[in-house]
Amino acid sequence: MAHIGIDLGGTKIEVLLLDAAGRECFRKRLPTPQGQYLATLHTIRQLVAEAEQQAGQACTLGMGAPGAISPATGLMKNANSVVLNGKPLRQDLENLLQRRVRIENDANCFALSEATDGVAAGAAVVFGVIVGTGTGAGIVVYGKVLTGANAIGGEWGHNPLPWPETGELPGKPCYCGKHGCIETWLSGPGFEAEYEKVVGARRTAADIVQLAEQGNQQAEQLLQAYEERMAKSLAHVINILDPDVIVLGGGMSNIPRLYANVPKRWGKYVFSDQVSTQLAAPYFGDSSGVRGAAWLGRDMVH
């Protein structure tokens, strides 16, 4: 059976059709209607119809979305695409499409993709991190997404930075209402804000990395501080979850030196005589989210 995945993002909605072997058969993107909930639903319907026409058969349907469906109310919560919050997204889509729809957080879909046939294929426990505009994560155990009792499994970015130094307290304010969240340090905007605070000029994360490569001492020091904070934050996860593989996604995952430097730093924070956990770049890159959404449908077949 073929599987359709939808990646519902803040700026674009993407559909992907996979055959049973995981081969890509069809892909298309459309802009997300900004602030328009009903128009968003109808855009999804259009993309699903086109993919199913391409497949020539009925397909399973999974979707990755920002935020999560509350187990208490069945309504969307915690989505940075705020038009979704408080809406019965799954129910509305199932009514519109006349079929079952499996919906998971977009970071969960990213982790599922890489654990299924990506860089972490075959690993028992996978922690998939998206470090971009925000900082989220998903957990996959033996090929299954660990959503959790409160549908917040993997919400790593809204824990405080572990082992903070004096200059890191009380931490920067986070949109969630707390201070010092990991997201405020490790997200792309958080890293750029730290550079602006120290240097007095605004630069993109990619520019800061390039400056460090060119020998700029301030950029290099800030990048080393970023690596240390990521090492602490991931060590905290290793101490609790002990994953086989941690996969980085999002814009900050495109910094090659992280994969060598962060594991060199996390050993002193991990409660073990050695650390076998691998830190890896995603095999499918930006496509992992929508692939994971498509793989959600496998559970519907049984």
Q: Measured between alpha carbons, how far is 176 from 1 in angstroms, rounded to an integer?
A: 41
Among 27, 82, 79, 43, CA closest to 286: 27
Q: What is the pLDDT along the chain (302 residues), one digit of tens a residue?
A: 999 999 999 889 999 999 999 999 999 999 999 999 999 999 999 999 999 999 999 899 999 999 999 999 999 999 888 899 999 999 999 999 999 999 999 999 999 999 999 999 999 999 999 999 899 999 999 999 999 999 999 999 999 999 999 999 999 999 889 999 999 999 999 999 999 999 999 999 999 999 999 999 999 999 999 999 999 999 999 999 999 999 999 999 999 999 999 999 999 999 999 999 999 999 999 899 999 999 998 877 65
* Per-domain boundaries in the chain: 3-105+286-301, 119-282
Query: Which CATH fold topology does 119-282 show?
Result: Nucleotidyltransferase; domain 5 (3.30.420)
Tell me, yes or no, if the two domains 3-105+286-301 and 119-282 fold the same way.
Answer: yes
pLDDT score for 198: 95
Task: Please state the CATH superfamily assignment of the domain spanning residues 3-105+286-301 in this structure.
Answer: ATPase, nucleotide binding domain (3.30.420.40)
Q: Measured between alpha carbons, how far is 78 from 84 in angstroms, rounded to an integer?
A: 9
Give the pair of three-digit tokens for residue 2.
């073929």
pLDDT score for 301: 60
Give the pair of three-digit tokens for residue 26.
């069809």
Query: What kind and span of H or E run contains 94?
Result: helix 89-97
Contacts of 237 (CB under 8 A, 6+ apart): 127, 137, 156, 243, 246
Asked if residues 158 and 183 have their Cβ atoms less than 8 Å apart, the reply is yes
For the entire predicted model, the pTM comes to: 0.94
pLDDT score for 299: 76
pLDDT score for 292: 97
CB neighbour burial string for 49-79, b if at least 16 within 10 angstroms, e if fewer: ebbbebbeeebbbbbbbbbbbbeeeeebbbb
Q: Are strands 60-65 and 68-69 parallel, antiparallel or unpaired?
A: unpaired
Asked if residues 110 and 249 have their Cβ atoms less than 8 Å apart, the reply is yes
